[in-house]
Structure 1
Amino acid sequence: MKTFNVPVIYRSPLISAIKNQRKQQDRMKKDFTPTELNFGPIRILLARHFGFCYGVENAIEIAFKTVDENPGKRIFLLSEMIHNPHVNSDLLDRGVQFIMDTAGKQLVPWESLQADDIVIIPAFGTTLETEKQLASLGIEPLKYNTTCPFVERVWNKAEQIGQKNYTVIVHGKPKHEETRATFSHSQAGTPTVVVKDIKEAALLAGFISGKRNPEEFYTLFEGQYSAGFDVTKDLQRVGVVNQTTMLATETQAIADHIKQVMISTFQLTDANVGERFADTRDTLCYATNDNQTAVTGMLQETADLAIVVGGYNSSNTSHLVELCEEKLPTYFISSPEHILSADAIQHWDFHHKQTIHSDQFLPKKDQVTILLTSGASCPDALVEGVIRRLLSFFQLEHKADELATASQS
């Protein structure tokens, strides 16, 4: 796989050594057991896969290269390039401006942009409407495009099944930048509706089966369906794609449920279900799959707690937190500094969108075992920082240097 020129501040000699060692031992990526880092009083089980993915490294390389090669020019990002506060802050410090926030609220008026300004498309992609807006200002919309190739793969799949007269069902968070972009691209070619979870998929299934009043659809799915959507006609043939960072098990459950409803409603069999239900297979990206599977493997081990590192508005990171929460006390932090001491930690409750202060998060015992992972937009340097922060409470920071040296040899 291609390697990228990512700023050294995001790299970690320790984590790189560990990852390279695991890669040598497991080139086919079949072993999802965690890496054990036993420091005596503290034992860390590091997920097999975590951190920057292909799409994120691609976006970072393009963005920083664009800044370096265009001194004196005004450079804008449509919105956060990725959902990591450290990377976005570094870009802001280098003079880049965000045109919109993550919810799509305008921060820089369109009319203030000039034809010679540089506008970078973030890794989530953007809508066709925004591309048109940029073009109308004389700005080539895709000249500085960091859209993840796996996001574009979803767009291509939606286009392919749309050309075969299937309606596209997008499993995603309706307000997320990626889902907004996927919805825009899909609806340009075929009727499209967004479902955010299995509950909404079950609601939609009621309209497919005819068990719900069609008029209810337009209220229940307000803002989540394409213009002119006809619930009585546009759910006869469907296919499911997704926001690439969603929980894999939920996407599969949604697709399976919709498929069974189609079979039951239209008296189909597994042999001819394709007449009504498109074979989209899984449209999650490889990194989302690997990171979630690695967490599942990690959770097979006995541990006291889990720490997940990443941006608080990161969809893929929040799903890793969800998986951990099913088994263990889980602390979602964006940087090592949120571990205040061996007794106190400030962490994010993404369910209620609030910061929580917890005391005595490290159990008082001879050896504490911690599961550790991070999201696909989180720099490895932050993960190393968490390890060093935890070791510092036991005066064992030097052990991280020893481990990095040993892993590189």
Structure 2
Amino acid sequence: MKSFDVPVMYRSPLISAIKKKRKEADRMKKDFSPTLLDFGPMRIYLARHFGFCYGVENAIDIAFRTVDENPGKRIFLLSEMIHNPQVNYDLRSRGVQFLQDNHGKQIVPFEELAADDVVLIPAFGTTLAIEAQLKAIGIPTEKYDTTCPFVEKVWNRSEVIAKSDYTIIIHGKPSHEETRATFSHAAANAPSVVVKDLKQTMELAKYITGQKDAAGFYNEFAGQYSEDFDVNQHLQRIGVVNQTTMLASDTQGIADYLKGVMQDHFGLDETNIKERFADTRDTLCYATNDNQTAVTGMLDTPADLAIVVGGYNSSNTSHLVELCEEKLPTYYISSEAKILSEQTISHYNFHDKIESVTEGYLPQKETVNILITSGASCPDAVVEEVIRKLHGYFPGAKAFDELVAEFA
């Protein structure tokens, strides 16, 4: 796999050594058990897979190289490069300006751009309409496009099944940058509709079976369907693709449910289901899958708490939190700065979208077992700082450098 030039400030000697050692011992990625960092009174279990994925490293490489290669030029990002506050802060500190916020609200009007400006497309991709706007100004989009290859894979798969006259069902968050981009590309080739979750998918299915009057669709799915969508016509043949950062099991559950609906409603079986339902399992992102599977493997380890590190608007990180919350107390933090003391931690509740403070998060016991993972846009250096911060609360613990040497 291609390697990227990621700034050293995002790397961690400890975690790089751990990942290298695990990769050498498990090249086929069949072992999803966590890595034990045994400090004595504190034991950290690190997920087998976490942190920067291929698409994120690609985006960071292109972005920082673009800044270095274009001194004196105005450089813009359509929106956040990735959902990590440190990376976006670092780009801003180098003079990069943001054109839009995460919801597509304009910060710098496109009318203020000139042909010699540089505009970076973020890892989530962008809509065809925005690409056309930039090209009309004379700004080339291809050279500075950091769209994740696995997002593009979803677009390509959508195009393929669209050519076979399937309607595209997109599992994603309608307001998320990636879903907006995927919807744009899908809708250019076929009728398309976004579903948020299985609950909303079950409502969509009622329009397939006729349990709901077609007229109600347009209100119920307002803002989530393509232009000229015809409920009576466009739900006869369907295929499911996804926002790559969703829970893989959720996307598969949605696909399985809709497949069952099509089988039952049209009297089909495995020999002829393709007449109505396209097989699109290959659109699940490998990194999303690996990170989520690694969390499942990590949760088999008895522990007192879990810490998940990442940006608070990161979809893939929130799903890791969701998995951990099913088993034990889980604290979603953006950096070591949120660990306020041995007793107090400030953490994010992504369900209610609020930050709260918890006292007594570290249990008072002889040995504390902590599970740690991070989102695909979180630098390993941040995870190491979290471990170092926790290590400082255990005065009898093994020296940090001594443990690093064990993995060298």
TM-score, length of structure 1 as denominator length: 0.99
Within-5 A mapping of 1:84-163: 84-163=84-163
Q: Distance in 1 between matches of 2:38 and 2:320?
A: 23
Q: Distance in 2 between matches of 1:120 and 1:260?
A: 42
Determine whether 1:180 maps to 2:180. yes
Determine whether 1:372 maps to 2:372. yes
Check the 8 A contact 2:40/2:397 in 1, yes or no.
no
Q: Distance in 2 between matches of 1:284 and 1:310?
A: 21
Q: Distance in 1 between matches of 2:184 and 2:143?
A: 20
Within-5 A mapping of 1:161-176: 161-176=161-176
Determine whether 1:64 maps to 2:58. no
- Match of residue 41 from structure 2: 41
Residues 199-234 of structure 1: CA distance to partner in whole angstroms, max 9, x if unpaired? Answer: 011111111111111111111100000000000000
Residues 144-199 of structure 1: CA distance to partner in whole angstroms, max 9, x if unpaired? Answer: 00000000000000000001100000000000000000000000010000001010
Cα offset for 1:141? Answer: 2.0
Please tell me the residue identity of whatever aligns with 1:162.
A
Q: Distance in 1 between matches of 2:333 and 2:225?
A: 34
Please tell me the residue identity of whatever aligns with 1:407.
F
Within-5 A mapping of 1:315-330: 315-330=315-330
Determine whether 1:29 maps to 2:46. no
Q: Distance in 1 between matches of 2:272 and 2:30?
A: 34
Check the 8 A contact 1:388/1:397 in 2, yes or no.
no
- Match of residue 220 from structure 2: 220
Determine whether 1:15 maps to 2:27. no
Aligned residues, how many? Answer: 408
Structure 1 residues 96 and 397, CA, compared in 2 at 3 Å: closer, same or farther?
farther
- Match of residue 252 from structure 1: 252
Residues 83-128 of structure 1: CA distance to partner in whole angstroms, max 9, x if unpaired? Answer: 0000000000000000000000000011110110000000000000
- Match of residue 293 from structure 1: 293
Cα offset for 1:365? Answer: 0.6
- Secondary structure (helix, strand or coil) at the match of 1:232 reads helix
Q: Distance in 2 between matches of 1:335 and 1:352?
A: 20
Determine whether 1:241 maps to 2:241. yes
- Match of residue 232 from structure 1: 232
Please tell me the residue identity of whatever aligns with 1:18.
I
Q: Distance in 2 between matches of 1:194 and 1:49?
A: 29
Please tell me the residue identity of whatever aligns with 2:273.
V
- Secondary structure (helix, strand or coil) at the match of 1:104 reads coil
Q: Percent identity?
A: 67
Q: Distance in 1 between matches of 2:399 and 2:214?
A: 64
Unpaired segments ≥5 residues, structure 1? none
Q: Distance in 1 between matches of 2:400 and 2:23?
A: 20
Please tell me the residue identity of whatever aligns with 1:205.
A
- Secondary structure (helix, strand or coil) at the match of 2:357 reads strand
Residues 21-72 of structure 1: CA distance to partner in whole angstroms, max 9, x if unpaired? Answer: 1111111100000001111111111000000000000000000000001111
Check the 8 A contact 2:39/2:398 in 1, yes or no.
no
- Match of residue 351 from structure 1: 351
Please tell me the residue identity of whatever aligns with 2:255.
A
- Match of residue 340 from structure 1: 340
Please tell me the residue identity of whatever aligns with 2:317.
T
Structure 1 residues 387 and 282, CA, compared in 2 at 3 Å: closer, same or farther?
same
Q: Distance in 2 between matches of 1:290 and 1:399?
A: 31
Q: Which has the higher mean CA deviation after the structures are superposed, 277-286 or 219-228?
A: 277-286
Q: Distance in 2 between matches of 1:399 and 1:201?
A: 52
Residues 294-326 of structure 1: CA distance to partner in whole angstroms, max 9, x if unpaired? Answer: 000001111111000000000000000000000
Q: Distance in 2 between matches of 1:332 and 1:397?
A: 24
Determine whether 1:302 maps to 2:282. no
Determine whether 1:394 maps to 2:394. yes
Cα offset for 1:282? Answer: 3.5
Please tell me the residue identity of whatever aligns with 1:234.
H
Q: Distance in 1 between matches of 2:40 and 2:339?
A: 20
Check the 8 A contact 1:14/1:400 in 2, yes or no.
no
- Match of residue 362 from structure 2: 362
- Match of residue 276 from structure 1: 276
- Match of residue 190 from structure 2: 190
Cα offset for 1:406? Answer: 2.3
TM-score, length of structure 2 as denominator length: 0.99
Residues 313-370 of structure 1: CA distance to partner in whole angstroms, max 9, x if unpaired? Answer: 0000000000000001000000001001111000000001100100000011111111
Q: Distance in 2 between matches of 1:249 and 1:183?
A: 21
Check the 8 A contact 1:78/1:99 in 2, yes or no.
yes
Q: Distance in 1 between matches of 2:283 and 2:358?
A: 37
- Secondary structure (helix, strand or coil) at the match of 2:283 reads coil
Please tell me the residue identity of whatever aligns with 1:199.
K
Please tell me the residue identity of whatever aligns with 1:321.
V
Q: Which has the higher mean CA deviation after the structures are superposed, 253-262 or 136-145?
A: 136-145
CA RMSD of aligned residues (A): 0.8
Cα offset for 1:398? Answer: 6.6
Q: Distance in 1 between matches of 2:318 and 2:401?
A: 30
